Amino acid sequence: MRLILLGPPGAGKGTQAQRLVERHGIPQLSTGDMLRAAVANGTEVGKRAKAVMDSGQLVSDEIVNQIVSERIDQPDAARGFILDGFPRTVPQAEALTQMLADKGQKLDAVIELKVDESALVSRMEKRVAETLASGGKVRADDNPESFKKRLNEYREKTAPLSAYYASTGELVTLDGMADMDTVTAEIEKALHANA
Contact positions toward ligand ADP, by CB under 6 A?
Answer: 9, 30-32, 35, 52-53, 56-59, 64, 85-86, 88, 92, 141, 150
Cα–Cα distance, 36 to 53 (Å, whole number): 9
Q: How far is the CB of 192 from ligand ADP (least distance, A)?
A: 26
Q: Which residues pair with 81 in a beta bridge?
A: 2
- Residue 73 or 189: which CB sits closer to ligand ADP? 73
In the bound complex, what is the minimum distance in angstroms from residue 114's beta carbon to ligand ADP? 15
C-alpha span between 56 and 40 (Å, rounded): 17
Instruction: Report the side by side order of strands in the sheet with 171-175.
Output: 28-30, 81-84, 2-6, 109-114, 171-175
Closest to ligand ADP by CB, 180 vs 189, is 180
Q: Beta partners for 113?
A: 174
Nearer CB in complex with ligand ADP: 39/172? 39
In the complex, least distance from residue 71 CB atom to ligand ADP, rounded to whole angstroms? 12
Binding residues: 10-15, 31, 36, 57-59, 85-88, 92, 127, 139, 150, 178
Report how far residue 141's alpha carbon sits from residue 151's, in angstroms, rounded to the nearest whole number: 12
Cβ-proximal residue to ligand ADP, closest one: 32
Round to whole Å and give the CA distance between 116 and 148: 14
